[in-house]
Amino acid sequence: RCVEAFYIYFRAERVEEPYVSITKKRQMPKDGYSEEIEKEVGQAEGKLRTHRSAFSRASVIQAFLGSAPQLTLQLYICILQQEVTVARCIFMVLSLLSIVYGALRCNILAIKIKYDDYDVRVKPTAYLCIFMWRSFEIATRVAVLVLFGSVLRIWVFLIVLLNFLGFFFYPWVLFWLSKSPFPENIEKELSRLGTTFVLCLLTFLYAGINMFCWSAAQVELSDPDLISKSQNWYRMTVYYIVRLMENAFLLLMWYIYRTDFYLYVCAPMLFLQLLIGYCMGIFFMLVFYQYCHPCKKLFSSSITEALLSCFKILYFICQHQKSTLLKSKVVMKSPENTDEAHDSGKTIDSQNRNIHQSASSNA
């Protein structure tokens, strides 16, 4: 495929193409207006776009199903052997760069699929924000999993299994709740069983990505393109809140059950550094979606507004729980108060009767 792509690229301008196709793309709206642009696309350029799209998908698959487990394993071996060699350090850096590149390609691919009708141009600042966002997010996530696994080896398998199965079955649960027909237009030559196998592979990759970072391409089996076109801020907000709490919990367990090997490591400082590193990844993510996203003019609402509304919902839920607790306490206390009032009423009645009887005897 790579050789074919190079061959098409070097012959693109030498041979005149008899057939061209016309594509229509809309520009990003300026002052509320957007123009539609027609562009001629030759066969060579169309084939190169197909190769580039296939290369992007292959880089995502290689990153999260190959480099991510490799990086986790290499870091775990370094901790067990208490030694970091130069060769292993180089391999870990290359694996991390491969994962970050795969996540970056996943972001760009998701943007182009969601906004296919527009002429999307990604600026260098956007690439820089995505690179910093994914670097902090993936590096801290791998470090947290390795530290937790170094002290609680059995429990880390349970954590990984629950995460993987949860993200694997999540698109299938949404598809079942939507009651949509089974997708039949993925490939004409595939049978129903083959289509199910392809969808399982897709959700497998989706679960592998979400194990280490937020998947920019959200799988939606009811959509013909199998990718969600809507920008769901609430799902992203819930993901990062839950992931931050999970990382904090895993680090806390590591801090409690750490072995003598970590006596020469400042555990509280490492704890804070990893949490701050993950928060830095969230910060660059917010900067990207708020200022550097190539299609931010098409957003119906910004991510900061979604965060504020989500925090308001959480605040109201907490207030509702407090009010219900107070009401339950009042209800629990009210029978005691009525009993005390009934007893006090009985004592007052008995005192009045005694006074009346003494007055009648004196008379």
- Please write the tens of the pLDDT for every residue from 106-131: 888 888 888 877 778 888 999 999 99
25 lies in some domain: no
Rounded CA gap, 260 and 62, in Å? 37
Q: What domain range is 150 assigned to?
A: 61-322
202 lies in some domain: yes
Which secondary-structure segment (H or E) carries 41?
strand 36-42
Identify the residue whose tokens are 């089974």.
182
- Per-residue confidence (pLDDT) for residue 4, from 0 to 100: 53
80 lies in some domain: yes
- Per-residue confidence (pLDDT) for residue 180, from 0 to 100: 81
Q: What residues pair up with 227 in beta bridges, in sequence order?
A: 219
Give me the chain's average pLDDT, please.
78
Determine the average pLDDT of the residues in 292-321. 74
50-76 per-position pLDDT tens digit: 545 656 677 788 888 888 889 999 998
Which secondary-structure segment (H or E) carries 37?
strand 36-42
pLDDT at 243 over 90: yes
- Per-residue confidence (pLDDT) for residue 315, from 0 to 100: 73
Determine the average pLDDT of the residues in 150-155. 88
Determine the average pLDDT of the residues in 131-157. 92
Q: Annotate 78-126 with DSSP letters as a single string.
A: HHHHT---HHHHHHHHHHHHHHHHHHHHHHHHHHHHHTTTB-----HHH
Determine the average pLDDT of the residues in 332-351. 50
Rounded CA gap, 277 and 96, in Å? 15
Vertex 246, ends 88 and 83: CA angle to 5°? 20
42 lies in some domain: no
- Per-residue confidence (pLDDT) for residue 355, from 0 to 100: 43
pLDDT at 335 over 70: no
Query: Per the structure, how many domains does the chain have?
Result: 1
Reference 106, options 210, 5, 199, 185; nearest CA is 210
Q: Does 309 or 16 have the greater pLDDT score?
A: 309
17 lies in some domain: no
- Grade residue 301 by pLDDT with cuts at 50, 70 and 90: low
- Per-residue confidence (pLDDT) for residue 158, from 0 to 100: 92
107 lies in some domain: yes
- Per-residue confidence (pLDDT) for residue 239, from 0 to 100: 92
29 lies in some domain: no
209 lies in some domain: yes
8-38 per-position pLDDT tens digit: 545 555 555 555 566 666 666 776 666 666 6
- Per-residue confidence (pLDDT) for residue 122, from 0 to 100: 86
Which secondary-structure segment (H or E) carries 40?
strand 36-42
- Per-residue confidence (pLDDT) for residue 24, from 0 to 100: 62
Determine the average pLDDT of the residues in 98-102. 91
- Per-residue confidence (pLDDT) for residue 78, from 0 to 100: 86
Task: Indicate the pTM of the whole model.
Answer: 0.77
Determine the average pLDDT of the residues in 93-107. 91
Torsion (CA) 15, 55, 107, 208 in degrees, nearest 10: 170
What percent of the chain has a predicted confidence (pLDDT) above 70? 70
- Per-residue confidence (pLDDT) for residue 257, from 0 to 100: 86
